[in-house]
């Protein structure tokens, strides 16, 4: 059973005919799609017994609110449609507790009048797809169903008290260096430089025995073409790098310099530029992908594998290596699979990997220090690239909102597109 199934079961068990319920969602992490789905499912369960949602209150951590980058008005509109109620009956409460994270999670449907009918589900599950079991695999969560009238009243009062901590995203950014840094970095994407090579992906490696090491010292001719590294020897049976020598790179040298910012957490680019990079790679990677496919044909791989098996048989006879002949079959399978690895081919022509998400409570200090370092570094610059210019403007203008920042990035993105 998923957490969402558990919540739907709680609605069915506690809502009698014509029931009216105020919905409460208390969560730290959330995504809008899942939030809307939960509210919609609860609303449907109430309607199935001729009931109705009387109102909705969603309390979230202000940092997570800034991360979602959707206006309060737009989110309220989506919630009101899901609950089938007027927009004015929806409350979104971004909670700011200085230096703390709102970490509690609860889902409730309580009578808006006497506050003693309904339920509260206290749980570990955030309002995210893994948290509610809507993705595969989902998280393993725990939940407790509470229906005692006294507890429902207490919970309602707690939700009302949280409204005292409500703060707008704009004001929160003015008062908290971390939230301001979060707003900036979440408007773009971090990258780390890829340190790998395609040659390493299809390299053929063997482990030397003691006899093999002795033969290595005597420079046995059978080792021709192999490179040695301590206990192992390896070779690149197919020169895949030639594909990238024959084709020009899609990004010119100034591009990364103009549209990226070097930070303590890696290179950072604004969202619109990251989208352009994705589009450009998808479009321009085709000649490289075609080149790799032509080089790594199944027939050629099979011929190379045959020669490697001859090597293996010779090494095995002399007891120079630890591996069995089956290692060649494994290599052949790996190289055949590699032909489909467009992600690695793209990394070879644009050697930067996206970092999935660096925004967690554990990285709070790192994010703050990164922003501080960047702010101090840019304050001494007179001539800046388009991206650095907007970052400097954001730091020097505490009143700049998330919406205004995103408009600046749209302008930068248009400039980047023209250059490419």
Check if the beta carbon of residue 119 is closer than 8 Å to that of residue 14. yes
Q: Kindly list the averaged pLDDT for each block of 10 residues, start to end, along the chain of length 420.
A: 94 92 95 95 94 95 83 89 95 84 93 91 95 88 95 95 83 79 90 81 92 89 88 90 74 80 88 90 82 89 93 93 92 88 82 75 80 89 91 90 91 87
**117 torsion bin: left (phi>0), alpha (psi -120 to 50), beta (else):** beta
- At 157, which CATH number? 3.30.870.10
Rounded CA separation 209/223 (Å) = 14
The pLDDT value recorded for residue 360 is: 63
The domain of 72 spans 3-167
Q: CA angle 148-153-158, nearest 5°?
A: 125
**Paired strand residues for 21:** 53
Report yes or no on 163 lying in a domain: yes
Report yes or no on 242 lying in a domain: no
Report yes or no on 202 lying in a domain: no
| Residue with token string 């949280």 | 162
**69 torsion bin: left (phi>0), alpha (psi -120 to 50), beta (else):** left
The pLDDT value recorded for residue 233 is: 93
The pLDDT value recorded for residue 150 is: 95
Report yes or no on 74 lying in a domain: yes
Domain count of the chain?
A: 1
Task: Please enumerate in sequence order all residues whose Cβ is within 8 A of that of 356, keeping only pairs 6 or more positions apart, or say none.
Answer: none
Rounded CA separation 402/170 (Å) = 8
The pLDDT value recorded for residue 361 is: 60
Neighbours of 79 (CB within 10 A): 26
Half-sphere exposure of 412 (CA within 13 A, CB side): 27
CA–centroid distance for 78 within its chain: 24
The enclosing H or E element of 413 equals: helix 402-419
Rounded CA separation 233/321 (Å) = 10
CA–centroid distance for 347 within its chain: 18
The pLDDT value recorded for residue 301 is: 92
**Paired strand residues for 145:** 121
Report yes or no on 45 lying in a domain: yes
Report yes or no on 114 lying in a domain: yes
The pLDDT value recorded for residue 403 is: 86
Report yes or no on 98 lying in a domain: yes
The enclosing H or E element of 351 equals: none
- 305 DSSP 8-state letter: H
Report yes or no on 94 lying in a domain: yes
Q: Considering the entire predicted model, what is its pTM? A: 0.70
Residue 140: is it exposed, middle or buried by C-beta count within 10 angstroms (0-12/13-18/19+)? exposed
């Amino acid at each position: 059973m998923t957490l969402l199934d558990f919540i739907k079961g709680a609605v069915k068990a506690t809502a009698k005919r014509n029931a009216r319920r105020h919905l409460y969602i208390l969560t730290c992490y959330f995504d809008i799609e899942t939030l809307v789905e939960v509210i919609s499912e609860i609303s449907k369960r109430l309607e199935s017994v001729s009931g109705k949602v009387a109102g909705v209150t969603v309390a979230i951590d202000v940092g997570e609110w800034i991360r979602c980058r959707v206006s309060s008005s737009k989110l309220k509109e989506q919630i009101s449609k899901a609950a089938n109620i007027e927009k004015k009956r929806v409350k979104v409460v971004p909670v700011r507790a200085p230096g703390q994270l709102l970490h509690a999670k609860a889902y409730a449907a309580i009578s808006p009048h006497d506050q003693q009918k309904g339920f509260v589900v206290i749980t570990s599950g955030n309002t995210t797809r893994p948290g509610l079991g809507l993705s595969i695999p989902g998280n393993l969560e725990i939940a407790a169903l509470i229906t005692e009238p006294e507890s429902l009243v207490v919970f309602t009062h707690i939700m009302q008290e949280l409204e005292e901590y409500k703060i707008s995203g704009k004001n929160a950014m003015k008062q908290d260096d971390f939230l301001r840094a979060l707003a900036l970095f979440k408007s773009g994407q971090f990258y780390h430089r890829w340190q790998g090579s395609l040659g390493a992906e299809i390299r053929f490696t063997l482990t030397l025995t003691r006899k093999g090491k002795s033969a290595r010292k005597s420079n046995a001719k059978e080792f021709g073409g192999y490179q040695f590294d301590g206990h192992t020897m390896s070779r690149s049976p197919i020169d895949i790098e030639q594909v990238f020598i024959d084709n020009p790179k899609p990004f010119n040298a100034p591009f990364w310099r103009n549209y990226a910012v070097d930070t303590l957490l890696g290179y950072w680019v604004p969202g619109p530029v990251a989208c352009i990079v994705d589009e450009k790679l998808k479009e321009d990677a085709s000649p490289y992908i075609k080149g790799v496919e032509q080089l790594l044909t199944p027939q050629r791989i099979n011929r190379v594998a045959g020669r490697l098996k001859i090597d293996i048989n010779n090494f095995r006879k002399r007891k120079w290596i630890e591996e069995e002949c089956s290692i060649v079959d494994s290599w052949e399978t790996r190289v055949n699979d590699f032909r489909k690895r467009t992600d690695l081919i793209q990394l070879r022509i644009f050697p930067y990997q996206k970092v999935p998400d660096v925004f967690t409570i554990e990285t709070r200090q790192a994010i703050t220090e990164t922003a501080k370092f960047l702010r101090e570094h840019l304050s001494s610059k007179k001539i800046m690239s388009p991206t650095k210019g907007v970052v400097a403007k954001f730091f020097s203008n505490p009143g700049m909102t998330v919406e205004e920042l995103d408009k600046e990035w749209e302008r930068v993105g248009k400039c980047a597109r023209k250059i490419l």
